[in-house]
Structure 1
Amino acid sequence: MPKRRIGLIANRSHQDDPQSALVQLLTGSQAAITYLNIEFVVVGRTLDAIHKHGLDTLCPAIERFPYGREGGLMKLVSRVVDEDPLRAVDAVIYLIDPVDPSSVFPEAVALKRQCVIHQKPFLATLASAQEWLELQACLLGKTSNPALDARFQLEREGIALIAHDALKPAMLTLAEKHFAVLDRFACRYATGTTGGLLNQTASRLKATELPAWVHPYRSGPLGGDAQLAELVLERKIRRILFLEDPHVARQHEADIQLLERAARTVTDFALVISEVSEADRYLQALSLRSASA
């Protein structure tokens, strides 16, 4: 199997403790990492932490980047957009501490934006990294990890479906294509207009009036993102499909960041997917994996 190159960085609070998110990721996902033949591109201090915890054998293929203060994160942004397959990264795992100021530095913001533009997964929580590795391995035929079964019992789970204006048609297309798996969730939530459109789609697909297939909250600019953030913090929403348009200025940027920050606050529980093609692949893999949970 060809190597997959994954950028890896963790904020300090996710590195140092023996039970940190970085340690949990590498130990808990060891089988998937090996199966997927992953080569990590690791930024400075994160690699120091891997050595400190004796985890070198769990990720033997490593390219070291400089410390963040020496431009390591900037170099990682460049590798996201690199056209050379031997240099480019296929995805980025950035375990973000929501109170670490470095996570809002320009290079950190650019890293996520370029991942969205170039259709590469940006995995900012422990839960998102664990789940992505599990789903990729399952798609390629690996036996599922029974330790993760509980999170794939969708009948007990909530999901948020949000899309910026230019991407609302894409969200409706995804909902129709993957209606069967989305319909299995115990609860579906959305902000304003997107929720109304999804309810119309569901009613058409089921040939019956279903006004509450999605529970619609306020629109994003009027506080809907904040309402959903509360549900994330209460662990009622694990998965957030937030289709972002990275090419337009957004007056309610703070609200968007609030929802992502909520997911990062419960890093072991919640995840955000921000790009259309990745959301498509994700829902396909989720359907497959949840069938065995």
Structure 2
Amino acid sequence: MAGGKCIALIAHDQKKDDMAEFARRHQQVLSNFRIVATGTTGGRVLEACPTLDVLPLKSGPLGGDQQIGALIATGEVDMLIFFVDPLTAMPHDVDVKALMRLATVYDIPMALNRATAERLIDFNLSGTGAGHVQTN
């Protein structure tokens, strides 16, 4: 993936509507980023915001979480927004934990719920200017 800052978007099944609404609400800021997303989430975001630069990868359980993890490890993803459903058991829970571990190891901003994602977006609007993610 070449050029510009990149955000990864992932949402568990019960959170996909929330992610699509989040993208719709913040479409202007998100338009400053390249976006990678797991399959269904990426499709839902594109339906809600067809002008965004979204690359849908595989579905999470079919390797999408691991694809995003690899992009984090190679420095191609600058921020992770992952709307987690804590009330539903995930058959690919090991992959989800590995993805969160990689985001932590590579010290990228990570939001696991809408409230934190809103703060990261607000930070990009006010703290450093739209489209800029500060990392250590």
- TM-score over 0.5 for the pair: yes
- Displacement after TM superposition at 1:282 (Å): 2.3
Query: What do residues 79-138 of structure 1 show as CA deviations (whole Å, max 9, x unaligned)?
Result: xxxxxxxxxxxxxxxxxxxxxxxxxxxxxxxxxxxxxxxxxxxxxxxxxxxxxxxxxxxx
Letter in structure 1 aligned against 2:128: S
- Displacement after TM superposition at 1:277 (Å): 1.8
- Displacement after TM superposition at 1:280 (Å): 1.8
Q: Aligned residue for 1:201?
A: 48
SS of alignment partner, residue 81 of structure 2:
strand
Q: Aligned residue for 2:64?
A: 224
Q: What percent identity do the matched residue pairs reach?
A: 34
Letter in structure 2 aligned against 1:279: A
Larger fraction in helix: 1
Structure with larger RCO (C-alpha < 8 A, sep 6+): 2
- Displacement after TM superposition at 1:244 (Å): 0.4
- Does the CA-based 8 Å contact 1:191-1:220 persist in structure 2? yes
- Contiguous gaps of at least 5 residues in structure 2: none
Q: Aligned residue for 1:165?
A: 13
Distance 1:281 1:264 in 2: 18
Letter in structure 1 aligned against 2:129: A
Distance 2:10 2:37 in 1: 6
After TM superposition, the structure 1 = structure 2 runs for residues 66-145 of structure 1, keeping only pairs within 5 Å, are none
Q: Aligned residue for 2:23?
A: 175
Taking structure 1 as the reference length, the TM-score comes to 0.42
Distance 1:174 1:284 in 2: 13
After TM superposition, the structure 1 = structure 2 runs for residues 260-271 of structure 1, keeping only pairs within 5 Å, are 260-267=100-107, 270-271=108-109
Letter in structure 2 aligned against 1:290: T
Query: What do residues 150-173 of structure 1 show as CA deviations (whole Å, max 9, x unaligned)?
Result: xxxxx7211001101111111111
Structure 1 runs of 4+ aligned residues shifted over 3 Å read none
Q: Aligned residue for 1:249?
A: 89
Equivalenced residues, count: 129
Taking structure 2 as the reference length, the TM-score comes to 0.87
Distance 1:278 1:264 in 2: 15
Q: Aligned residue for 1:277?
A: 115
Larger Rg computed on CA atoms: 1
- Displacement after TM superposition at 1:276 (Å): 1.3
